[in-house]
């Protein structure tokens, strides 16, 4: 009788006093390719780490490798959250460091990172070239690791895993941060490696899966349940929101009717042009969708508005009515803005409590370093309650599931009722219900006249308040347009647009 590829029996795991798994069992046979789903915090990532040997547990996990195939007898996990290190082996970077080219030289290049990985795993470098080309990553081989966006870092980890082709490959949220074309290419590559004998476990709630997937499961109440198909990823459910905090019912106090204006803006690193002749104007109260493939320049564009990019001084850029470089500090700019992005989450102080994290948005600090006045404390408490996080008030951020961490930082963005919300893929890490909830929240918050720039790929559920769209491609403006047809969902209208480019 053939032994199963993976056999898990009576798996138990507790975090603090909370039970994550309760005698969980799971058997994976040869030839089965699984998708594991479940709400945020249900234990999906913990289970992946237990299988990979990265988390302690009670119970039995047995992995049986096949000696008759040439693939490495290894288990490989591509985590949804990747922390890279500098050449000295430490990872204490700060948020703006990505945009400072001189300091970027502290990290390896993509090519050097891959060379090291290939040598460590006895892989031929020639074999990785087709994967780089398929995922549109070949042009980044000479880029420093710190220069990569979150989507590009995800691609790099996927490249390594597909190059290695371990007998058991687990990918946590493989599509997070990837554009449409990259997702299609990834699915084709996953089909290929599974045909060669790789056993695949994908942790995802996405519907667009490789055709090799033939089994589905979800974690509910600490146990694994096999299901017939992945539950619908997109939901049109309307959630009953609580009463919005009083301070968010008031319109933001605008310092100018002009939020941002760019005139022939160019950003480059040596010979590499990142942004080319960008002309864009954002006025108070407008709600923009910013879109483009991975590496198109979206994050760099936002860094100019956030005040984080040093090359902003060399361009004609106006922020909140003032020309950049006219005497304002970076903190003068940030007091107008509420920001969330995957990169900001990377560098945020995860040892802050929930209350401290949310309150830090009042002072644009990474952590809270002063005592809150009573009125501000009441404001923070009201918003934390609105987000359903009151029971986590004193928990450290790094003890929460990734989805809840993101909710905390989302609350941080709106705590000061800013003139401008910059939401760069804000729902990464959230499950479908949390995503729907947050986007409804944004719609409600924006009814007070707040300005929004929202970055999201077309598959993602998006707020209905968005009215204008700008698309970047290869660092240039591909299109600026109105989102006119409100009878279609944004998902549909943007998909139709992307099919034409």
241 is a domain residue: no
Please compute the mean of the pLDDT values over residues 344-354 and round it to a whole number. Answer: 83
233 is a domain residue: no
Q: Pick 404 or 378 by higher pLDDT.
A: 378
Give the residue from 295, 324, 274, 282 showing the smallest Cα distance to 470.
282
- Whether 258 and 221 share a structural domain: no
Q: Pick 430 or 116 by higher pLDDT.
A: 116
- Whether 487 and 380 share a structural domain: yes
Q: Residue 13 belongs to what domain range?
A: 6-227
In the prediction, which pLDDT does 232 show? 52
- Confidence grade of residue 84 (pLDDT, cut at 50, 70, 90): low
Percentage of the chain lying above the pLDDT 90 cut: 50
- Whether 222 and 253 share a structural domain: no
Q: What is the DSSP string of 85-137?
A: --TTS-----GGGGG-HHHHTTS-BHHHHHHHHHHHTT--GGGTHHHHHHTT-
268 is a domain residue: yes
**pLDDT at residue 173 tops 70:** yes
Domain boundary pick from 227, 259, 281:
227
Mode of pairing for the β-strands spanning 287-291 and 58-63? unpaired
Q: Are the C-beta atoms of residues 91 and 301 closer than 8 Å to each other?
A: no
- Confidence grade of residue 405 (pLDDT, cut at 50, 70, 90): confident
458 is a domain residue: yes
- Whether 157 and 42 share a structural domain: yes
The shares of helix, strand and coil residues in the chain, as percent rounded to the nearest 5, are 35, 25, 40
239 is a domain residue: no
- Whether 204 and 252 share a structural domain: no
For the chain, give the mean pLDDT. 85
Q: What is the pTM of this model?
A: 0.81
Q: Pick 72 or 204 by higher pLDDT.
A: 72
pLDDT tens-digit map of 88-109 = 444 444 444 455 544 446 678 8
Which residues neighbour 326 within 8 Å (Cβ) at sequence distance 6 or greater?
Answer: none
Residues in the chain, overall count: 501
Can you tell me the distance from the alpha carbon of 84 to that of 97, in angstroms, rounded to the nearest whole number?
A: 13
Q: Are the C-beta atoms of residues 422 and 384 closer than 8 Å to each other?
A: no
pLDDT tens-digit map of 254-312 = 999 999 999 999 998 777 788 999 999 999 999 999 998 877 889 889 989 988 888 88
421 is a domain residue: yes
**pLDDT at residue 240 tops 50:** yes
- Whether 220 and 254 share a structural domain: no
- Whether 171 and 202 share a structural domain: yes
- Whether 345 and 483 share a structural domain: yes
Can you tell me the distance from the alpha carbon of 168 to that of 407, in angstroms, rounded to the nearest whole number?
A: 32
Q: Pick 334 or 368 by higher pLDDT.
A: 334
Please compute the mean of the pLDDT values over residues 470-483 and round it to a whole number. Answer: 93
- Whether 155 and 16 share a structural domain: yes
Can you tell me the distance from the alpha carbon of 431 to that of 220, in angstroms, rounded to the nearest whole number?
A: 14
- Whether 399 and 451 share a structural domain: yes
């Amino acid at each position: 009788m053939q032994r199963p590829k993976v056999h898990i029996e009576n798996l138990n795991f507790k975090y603090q006093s909370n039970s994550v798994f309760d005698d969980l069992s799971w058997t994976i046979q040869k030839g089965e390719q699984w998708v594991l789903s479940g709400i945020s915090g249900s234990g999906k990532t913990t289970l992946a780490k237990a299988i990979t040997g990265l988390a302690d547990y009670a119970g039995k996990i047995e992995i049986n490798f096949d000696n008759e195939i040439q693939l490495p007898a290894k288990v490989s996990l591509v985590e949804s959250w990747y922390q890279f290190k500098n050449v000295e082996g430490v990872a204490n970077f700060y948020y703006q460091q990505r945009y400072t080219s001189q300091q970027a030289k502290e990290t390896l290049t993509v090519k050097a990172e891959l060379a090291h990985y290939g040598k460590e795993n006895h892989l031929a470098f020639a074999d990785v070239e087709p994967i780089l080309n398929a995922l549109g990553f070949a042009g980044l081989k000479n880029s420093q690791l710190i220069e990569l966006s979150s989507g590009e870092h995800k691609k790099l980890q996927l490249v390594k895993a597909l190059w290695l082709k371990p007998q058991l490959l687990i990918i946590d949220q493989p599509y997070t941060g990837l554009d449409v074309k990259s997702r299609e290419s990834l699915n084709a590559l996953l089909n290929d490696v599974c045909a060669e004998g790789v056993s695949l476990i994908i942790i995802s709630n996405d519907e667009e899966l490789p055709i090799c997937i033939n089994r589905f499961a979800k974690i509910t109440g600490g146990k694994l349940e096999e299901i017939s198909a992945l539950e619908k990823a997109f939901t049109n459910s309307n959630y009953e929101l609580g009463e919005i905090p009083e301070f968010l019912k008031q319109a933001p106090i605008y310092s100018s009717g002009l939020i941002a204006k760019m005139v022939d803006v160019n950003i480059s690193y040596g010979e590499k042009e990142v942004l080319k002749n960008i002309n864009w104007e954002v006025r108070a109260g407008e709600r923009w969708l910013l879109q483009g493939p991975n590496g198109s320049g979206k994050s760099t564009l936002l860094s100019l508005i956030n005040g984080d990019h040093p090359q902003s001084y060399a361009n004609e850029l106006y922020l909140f009515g003032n020309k950049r470089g006219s005497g304002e500090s970076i903190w003068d700019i940030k007091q107008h803005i509420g920001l969330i992005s995957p990169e900001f989450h990377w560098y945020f102080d995860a040892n802050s409590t929930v209350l401290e994290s949310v309150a830090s948005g009042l002072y644009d600090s990474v952590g809270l370093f002063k005592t809150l006045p009573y009125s501000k404390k009441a404001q923070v408490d009201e918003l934390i309650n609105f987000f359903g996080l009151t029971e986590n008030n004193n928990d450290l951020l790094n003890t929460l599931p990734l989805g809840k961490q993101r909710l905390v930082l989302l609350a941080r963005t709106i705590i000061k009722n800013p003139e401008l919300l910059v939401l760069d893929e804000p729902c990464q890490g959230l499950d479908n219900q949390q995503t729907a909830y947050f986007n409804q929240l944004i719609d409600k918050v924006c009814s007070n006249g707040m300005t929004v720039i929202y970055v999201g790929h077309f598959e993602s559920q998006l707020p209905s308040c968005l009215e204008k769209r700008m698309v970047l491609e290869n660092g240039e403006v591909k299109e600026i347009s109105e989102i006119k047809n409100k009878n279609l969902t944004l998902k549909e209208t943007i998909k139709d647009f992307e099919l034409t480019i």
